[in-house]
Amino acid sequence: MKYRRVGRSGLKVSEISLGSWLTYGGYVEQERAASAIRKAYELGVNSFDTANVYERGEAEKVMGAILREYPRESYVLATKAFWPMGEGPNDRGLSRKHVSEQINSSLKRLGLDYVDIFYCHRYDTETPIEETLRTIEDFVRQGKVLYAGVSEWTATQMQAALGTADKYLLDRIVVSQPIYNMFNRYIEKEVIPLGEAEGISQIVFSPLAQGLLTGKYDSVASIPGDSRAAKLEWVKNGITEQKIDAVKKLSGIAREHSLTVGQLALAWILRQPNVASALIGASRPEQVEENVKATGVELSEETLSSIDTILNSV
Ligand code: NDP
């Protein structure tokens, strides 16, 4: 496994991280979830991701229970808050009240004293940035949070937060968690350039487009019964014949490099120095084993340009 520094901080994360959305505490049963997390750890993955809202706290419970088997200093764990956790007006967003209650609740569910990264899961238009950043800083001072991150914030929103942090706070945002994969490259335009200029790394989610980029879907009519798309209708609705055709073409390039198409998709992401880690999901340990082999793969300019040609046709 290779490790990269997170932004301008001293923190290092594995090039592949493992997340728990939809899977752990959700459609993946406990034993399989445990073996996927343990496999990742054994293979050198030191970066794990969850959120308060994933299965309403169940994902945190599963991840915390397994990670507690290992020395606390050996892994980096992230959680998040923003999305509704109840019906009340204060059960959502990035107010001091909600963020404080959620960080404390997350720590209880995880069974841990601190999280390494706390992410603002989305931008909150109703809470002043100062209020949110000061709250996170209070948790940093208490030792309950080590680093601050944001998820799916625009470059403009991040810039505003940095300006505030520079004026009022000890620390800055060092990591951003946006979606990034071969079918969704929006961060290349503004988010990555801002990250490079300001020392904010990207830890990118859905790098395999929820499994589509592994080549497991052969046609819209033949979705494998044990896959995410078979379990969740809205995931199935995002799969098109056009994208499946592109994946088939990408598989040709992958074969020429003795890679699976999923490994090619991950190596393609890791070509970006501003990406600290590709944050995968895995419903079984074998998937983790396959995916971690994408680290250390170098893709030539010629290969990258053949990939672009395929992606530009989607
Ligand atoms: P991926 O794009 O990696 O998709 C993961 C899914 O792809 C797996 O659950 C599995 O699905 C399939 N898969 C993975 N590897 C293989 C393989 N080698 N062979 C076959 N199938 C494979 O990422 P996710 O969309 O799951 O997102 C990853 C993490 O990112 C989440 O767990 C979460 O922590 C984070 N995230 C953050 C968000 C945010 O707003 N900040 C939003 C979404 C995710 P199957 O069940 O079909 O086996």
Tell me the DSSP string of 90-139: TSSSS-HHHHHHHHHHHHHHHT-S-EEEEEESS--TTS-HHHHHHHHHHH
216 lies in some domain: no
Is the Cβ atom of 208 under 6 angstroms away from ligand 1? yes
- Give domain status of residue 28, yes or no: yes
**Closest C-alpha to ligand 1, atom 27:** 206
Q: Which domain, by its residues, includes 73?
A: 3-210+269-297
Confirm whether 279 is domain-assigned. yes
From the CB of 282, is ligand 1 less than 6 Å away? Answer: yes
Q: Is the CB of 19 under 6 A from ligand 1?
A: yes
**Which protein residue's CA is at the shortest distance from atom 46 of ligand 1?**
228
CATH code for the domain in which residue 67 is found? 3.20.20.100
Question: What is the model's pLDDT at position 172?
Answer: 80
Q: In angstroms, what is the span from residue 17 Cα to ligand 1's centroid?
A: 11
pLDDT value for 140: 95
What is the per-residue pLDDT for 194?
97
Q: Is residue 76 situated within a structural domain?
A: yes
Structural domain count of the chain: 1
Q: What does the pLDDT profile of the chain (314 residues) look like in tens digits?
A: 999 999 999 999 999 999 999 999 999 999 999 999 999 999 999 999 999 999 999 999 999 999 999 999 999 999 999 999 999 999 999 999 999 999 999 999 999 999 999 999 999 999 999 999 999 999 999 999 999 999 999 999 999 999 988 877 767 899 999 999 999 999 999 999 999 999 999 999 999 999 999 999 999 999 999 999 999 999 999 999 999 999 999 999 999 999 999 999 999 999 999 999 999 999 999 999 999 999 999 999 999 999 999 999 88
Report yes or no on 302 lying in a domain.
no
Task: Give me the pLDDT at residue 169, please.
Answer: 74
Burial track 276-309 (b if 16+ CB lie within 10 A, e otherwise): bbbbbbbbebebbebbbbbbebebeeebeebbee
Q: Is the distance from the beta carbon of residue 291 to the nearest atom of ligand 1 less than 6 Å?
A: yes
pLDDT of amino acid 60:
98
Q: Is residue 264 in a domain? A: no
State the distance from the centre of ligand 1 to the C-alpha of 197, rounded, in angstroms: 29
* Residue 36 per-residue DSSP state: H
What is the pairing mode between strands 16-19 and 275-280? Answer: parallel
Q: Is residue 97 part of a domain?
A: yes
Instruction: Tell me if 243 is assigned to some domain.
Output: no
ipTM (interface pTM)? 0.99
Strands 201-205 vs 275-280: parallel, antiparallel or unpaired? parallel
Ligand 1 atom index nearest CA of 151 = 41
* Residues involved in catalysis: 54
Residue owning the nearest CA to atom 18 of ligand 1 = 287
CA of 35 from ligand 1 middle (Å) equals: 16
